[in-house]
Structure 1
Amino acid sequence: MNDFRHYEEAVALYHGTLKNKSTPIYCWDFHNNFLDEVKNFFVDFNKLTLMASQNKWAENKWDLKNSLKEEVVIVTDATLKIVFASHGIKAMNGYNPEEVIGNSPRMFQGEATNAITSNEIRKAVLQLEPFEKTLINYKKNGETYVCLIKGFPVFNTKGELSHYIAFEKAA
């Protein structure tokens, strides 16, 4: 027992002579942000897979895991009302996902949005065709940003239109 006490004293003496540098408190913010991103990724991925399962989406070739990491994913119902927006939307345009649910994606458009491109998107949607377009959209604070949108109609296993899904990123 005596040897153990000597060992503890030696360790305490050693650590007492070290010149430790403390870690600035803001480093914890980075870790917390990382944990939030990981949590939001899994929340978004689980919501999307549940939505696909419940609505019996037909097989597709989307890589949702990578899309959620790199893009904002927005899903509308067949009437073009937003039913899902990934957490990345906050960084892209300032809206929280909950703020856009129930709205039309046109809420991001405004005076500077090209009407011709907007009509081309509308035409593709009505014809149930995929599209890839670049638009000027508006952030929550009114600033504009260029947005690359890849949109697809989503069909269920019976071949009926179920939803539309868009993969967006600020260009």
Structure 2
Amino acid sequence: MENSLSNMMCLDIYLLSLDSKESNKIKKQVKALDVESKPLLSWNISHTNSFVMSRKELDIQKIKAFAEKYKWKNDIQKILSNNPFEALVLTDSLEKIIWVNKGFTEMTGYSKTFATNKYPSFLQGEMTSKESKKEIRTNLQKEKPFELSVINYKKDKTPYTCQVQIFPLYSNKITHYIALETQIQ
């Protein structure tokens, strides 16, 4: 009984990490298995910490799956474990977004679906400095990891300062970039 409750809780946490379309698809599969869901009776701070870690681990696993698919030579575990982030943005080598995590949607208000196939510059606006834009372009051309602060805009047009770390991801050449983002204001 305790094990099945633990499994259901893990499933609930996993479902929270998905967008609604993916979540509903899996919920239908679970219902087909005729699994009885029970309400959670208590939740303490240690479970909250586990939830945060689980979500970060899910993000790491998703990026590791991309790493395997594209045969990146980067140490993904080290990049994601040693650097703080709320949001993750994965782009192709032309800087078009191919994936964002749930932290991105929470930070910006934009859905995964909306952000996919756009360029990260859609987050920039009036208060985004020309110097920041130039620094991003220059550093991307250097093909080395870099960090900077930039003023971006949420979906509701609210500006926020974002600390961004960008890492080029490569196999034989750079195939993608990953941005680790933390809101600082």
1:55 — aligned with what?
70
In structure 1, the residue matched to 2:92 is 77
Report what 1:118 is aligned to. Answer: 133
Q: Which of 80, 86, 89 is equivalent to 1:64?
A: 80
* Aligned equivalent of 2:6: none
1:163 match? 176
Distance in 2 (alpha carbons) for counterparts of 1:142 and 1:99:
15
Cα deviation for residue 41 of structure 1 reads 4.2
Q: Give the alignment partner of residue 151 of structure 1, picking from 166, 170, 174.
A: 166
Counterpart CA distance in 2 for 1:82 and 1:70 is 17
- For 2:44 and 2:127, how far apart are their aligned partners in 1? 36
Q: CA deviation at 1:111?
A: 0.9
Q: Which runs of 5+ in 1 are unaligned?
A: 1-24
SS at match of 2:102: coil
> Does the 8 Å contact 2:74/2:169 carry over to 1?
no
Instruction: Indicate how the Cα distance of structure 1 residues 70 and 154 shifts in structure 2: closer, same or farther if over 3 A, else same.
Output: closer
Structure 2 distance, partners of 1:137, 1:30, is 35
SS, match of residue 66 in structure 2:
helix
How much has 1:37 moved relative to structure 2? 5.9
Q: CA deviation at 1:96?
A: 1.9
Do 2:85 and 2:181's aligned partners in 1 also have CA atoms closer than 8 Å? no
Give the superposition deviation at 1:47. 2.0
Aligned to 2:121, the other structure's residue is in SS state: helix
* Distance change in 2, residues 1:66/1:130 (3 Å): closer
Equivalenced residue count is: 141
Q: 1:141 to 1:29 in 2, by over 3 A?
A: farther
How far did 1:65 drift? 4.9
Equivalent pair of 2:147/2:166 in contact (CA under 8 Å): yes
CA contact (8 A) 2:92 2:177 kept: yes
The whole-number CA distance in structure 2 between the counterparts of 1:63 and 1:89 is 18
For the pair shown, which has the larger CA radius of gyration, 1 or 2?
1
Q: Could you state the TM-score of these two structures normalised by the residue count of structure 2? A: 0.66
Aligned Cα root-mean-square deviation (Å)? 2.6
Aligned residue for 2:13? Answer: none
Report the equivalent of 2:117: 102
